[in-house]
């Protein structure tokens, strides 16, 4: 049976194909999870017309984070901008270079996701995006021919999204700063619970050590979160951080 990561990556290939084929008429929501060295990664993609508020992308992303321990994450939109498939980052702890590394090293090798080598990536507000692979981006390829059934499905999806009007009204919570802190808090809980369960089950020293490393990596992620100067962390996150620090040495 495929893992949550494998299922998400397989589904992402279909969504990416539709967004590109629409030439800008369709938009997607993405939730990326990956190891800093690019050795392991997952990508949850949903069509905006089918996931207006990003809830499905968020739920799927949390499942990926539960499987890929100690990973960083990023979320945002997938759009066709100036004819180029572009990932626009709105939040998370993963940098553009981190995502690029994982796309090239791991995710582009998944069946149907080689297209990731031809995308641009940028932060929201940036004027220009950076190529994942400049050579691949500029290598001409034959235009993919859609079957009559695929064309009909694409036209239906385009009409469905167009009927929604301004998507930014619906997706703002998914892309917000508060969501970024909430995601960080959730990941701390996941790693802390995993460590506590291993202790309760009498796990080996090696397993305990691995869980501590994963927890410490998530705690380090907090350094890259955007927090306005003078604004304290929410009390709930402070409590979890304190509990996490205590558990690192038990």
For 168-209, the pLDDT digits (tens) are: 878 887 887 555 666 677 777 777 787 788 888 888 888 878
Question: Which pair of structure tokens corresponds to residue 95?
Answer: 């940098």
Question: Which pair of structure tokens corresponds to residue 40?
Answer: 């392991």
pTM for the complete prediction?
Answer: 0.77
Are residue 33 and residue 153 in the same domain, yes or no?
Answer: yes
Sequence length of the chain is 250
Residue that terminates a domain, selected from 175, 192, 214? 175
Q: What is the pLDDT of residue 221?
A: 56
Are residue 171 and residue 77 in the same domain, yes or no?
Answer: yes
Range of the domain at 165: 4-175
Question: Which pair of structure tokens corresponds to residue 104?
Answer: 């090239």
Nearest to 116 by CA among 42, 57, 193: 42
Residue that terminates a domain, selected from 146, 175, 204? 175
Are residue 125 and residue 159 in the same domain, yes or no?
Answer: yes
Cα(193)–Cα(45) distance, integer angstroms: 27
Are residue 127 and residue 229 in the same domain, yes or no?
Answer: no
Are residue 112 and residue 212 in the same domain, yes or no?
Answer: no
Question: Which pair of structure tokens corresponds to residue 100?
Answer: 């690029």
Cα(26)–Cα(176) distance, integer angstroms: 21
As for how many domains the chain has, the answer is 2
Q: What is the pLDDT of residue 229?
A: 47
Q: What is the 3-state secondary structure (H, E, C) of the chain?
A: CCCHHHHHHHHHHHHHHHHHHCCCCCCEEEEEEECCCCCCEEEEEEECCCCCCCHHHHHHHHHHHHHCCCCEEEEEEEEEECCEEEEEEEEECCCHHHHHHHHHHCHHHCCCCHHHHHCEEEECCCCCCEECCHHHHCCCCCCCCCCHHHHHHHHHHHHHHHCCCCCHHHHHHHHCHHHHHHHHHHHHHHHHHHHHHHHHCCCCHHHHHHHHHHHHHHHHHHHHCCCCCCCCCCHHHHHHHHHHHHHCCC
Q: Which residue ranges of the chain lie beneath pLDDT 50?
A: 224, 226-229, 236, 249
Are residue 168 and residue 51 in the same domain, yes or no?
Answer: yes
Are residue 166 and residue 203 in the same domain, yes or no?
Answer: no
Are residue 92 and residue 8 in the same domain, yes or no?
Answer: yes
**50 CA to centre of own chain:** 17
């Amino acid at each position: 049976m495929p893992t949550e990561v494998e299922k998400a990556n397989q589904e992402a290939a279909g969504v990416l194909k539709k967004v590109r084929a629409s030439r800008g008429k369709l938009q997607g929501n993405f939730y990326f999870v990956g190891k800093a060295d690019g050795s392991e990664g997952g990508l949850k993609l949903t069509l905006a017309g089918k996931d207006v508020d990003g809830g499905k992308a968020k739920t799927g992303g949390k499942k990926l984070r539960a499987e890929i321990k100690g990973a960083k994450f990023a979320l945002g939109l997938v759009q066709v901008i100036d004819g180029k498939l572009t990932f626009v980052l709105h939040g998370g702890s993963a940098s553009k270079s981190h995502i690029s590394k994982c796309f090239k090293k791991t995710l582009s090798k998944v069946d149907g996701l080689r297209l990731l080598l031809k995308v641009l990536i940028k932060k929201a507000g940036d004027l220009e995006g950076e190529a994942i692979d400049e050579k691949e981006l500029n290598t001409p390829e034959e235009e993919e021919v859609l079957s009559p059934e695929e064309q009909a499905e694409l036209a239906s999806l385009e009409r469905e999204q167009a009927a929604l009007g301004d998507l930014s009204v619906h997706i703002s919570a998914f892309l917000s700063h508060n969501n970024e802190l909430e995601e960080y808090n959730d990941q701390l809980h996941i790693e802390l619970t995993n460590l506590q369960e291993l202790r309760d089950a009498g796990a080996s020293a090696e397993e305990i050590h691995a869980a501590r490393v994963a927890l410490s990596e998530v705690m380090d992620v907090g350094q890259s979160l955007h927090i306005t100067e003078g604004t304290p962390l929410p009390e709930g996150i402070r409590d979890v951080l304190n509990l996490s620090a205590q558990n690192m040495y038990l």
